[in-house]
Amino acid sequence: MIVHQAEAVVLRTWPIHEADLIVSLFTRDQGKIKGIAKSASKSRRRFGGALEPMTHVLANYAEKPRQELVRLDSFEIVASPLSNSVDYTRAAALAFYAEVLEEILPDRDPHDAVFRLLLAALEQTHTQNIWMPVTYFALWILRLMGWMPDVMRCTVGGEPFAGRPAYWHAHADGLVCIEHKRLAGSTLSPESQALAIRIFRQPMAAFSEEAWPRSRAADLRRFAIQGLERHLERRLTTAVALAKLGG
C-alpha cells in the first residue's frame, strides 16, 4: 500500500452503496485517478465540503497494487468554488471545465500544464466574467492536446490570412482561406485570430482587466469547443448549456 498526499481538483462524483462515493480526481502528480470515499456523505470531518466538483484540495489517499480505484482517506480544501457566489452562469463554466477534463484526460497521465491552466481558470471565473476564462481554457486545451491548427495560415494551401477572415468546418481539422473553404463553413474574424495569438503568448491573468462580453470572440470560442467535440467524437453537454447562455 502506497500512501499519497497530492494536490488535486475534484472532477466528478458518483454515489455507490449507501454513503460511499466514487470520486474522479485530477491530481497534479498522477493525473486523473478514481477512488472510493467511504461513508463520504456521513463523514464531514474527512471530506467536509471538499467533494464539490472543481474544489482544489490536498487529497490523502492510499493505493493498493493492481487495484484501479484508490482509497480516499481525507481531503483538505485549498480553494472551494463555493467560497464565491455561484449563479447559473458561473456554474455552467465550472461544469464545462469539469466535463472537458473528465472526457479528455487519460487515466494516470500527469499533465502539469493542464493542471496550471485549470487553476488559472478557476481563479478567473467569476459571476460577471466567464467568457474570457472559458475561451482561454478551451483554446489552450486544444493546443495542449496537440489539436490546434496554425491560426496565421491556411491549413490546406499555407497562404497567410494576413488580416482576412479564416474559415473552419465542424467536421474537418484546420483553418482555411476563402479559396479552400467548404460550403457552410464558419468564419474566424481577423480580430479573433489576433486574439488567439495573444492568448497563446500571455497568461490568463493578463486579460482579467479587459471587458469581455459574451459577444467578444464568440467565433473563437465556438471554434475551440467544436474542435474539442470533434476530437472527442461527441457533444459536450456543458457546451450546450453555455450556448444557451449565448456562448
What residues make contact with Zn ion under the rule CB under 5 A?
Answer: 154, 156-157, 177, 179-180
Enter the C-alpha cell of residue 121: 481558470
CB 239 within 8 A of CB 96: yes
Which residue lies nearest Zn ion, judged by its C-beta? 154
User: Can you tell me the distance from the alpha carbon of 136 to that of 150, in angstroms, rounded to the nearest whole number?
Assistant: 16
Nearer to Zn ion, 145 or 156 (CB): 156
Q: How far is the CB of 150 from Zn ion (least distance, A)?
A: 11
Phi, psi of 238 (to 5 degrees): -75, -25
Q: How far is the CB of 63 from Zn ion (least distance, A)?
A: 50
Q: How far is the CB of 156 from Zn ion (least distance, A)?
A: 5
Nearer to Zn ion, 68 or 179 (CB): 179
Quick count: other Cβ atoms within 10 Å of Cβ 135?
27
Q: How far is the CB of 169 from Zn ion (least distance, A)?
A: 13
Nearer to Zn ion, 156 or 243 (CB): 156
3-state secondary structure of 190: helix
Q: How far is the CB of 178 from Zn ion (least distance, A)?
A: 8
Q: How far is the CB of 161 from Zn ion (least distance, A)?
A: 9
Let me know if 56 is exposed, middle or buried by CB neighbors in 10 A (0-12, 13-18, 19+).
buried
User: Can you tell me the distance from the alpha carbon of 177 to that of 179, in angstroms, rounded to the nearest whole number?
Assistant: 5
User: Can you tell me the distance from the alpha carbon of 19 to that of 43, in angstroms, rounded to the nearest whole number?
Assistant: 9
CA distance from start to end of the chain: 46
Nearer to Zn ion, 48 or 185 (CB): 185
Enter the C-alpha cell of residue 163: 488580416
Nearer to Zn ion, 165 or 247 (CB): 165
Nearer to Zn ion, 97 or 161 (CB): 161
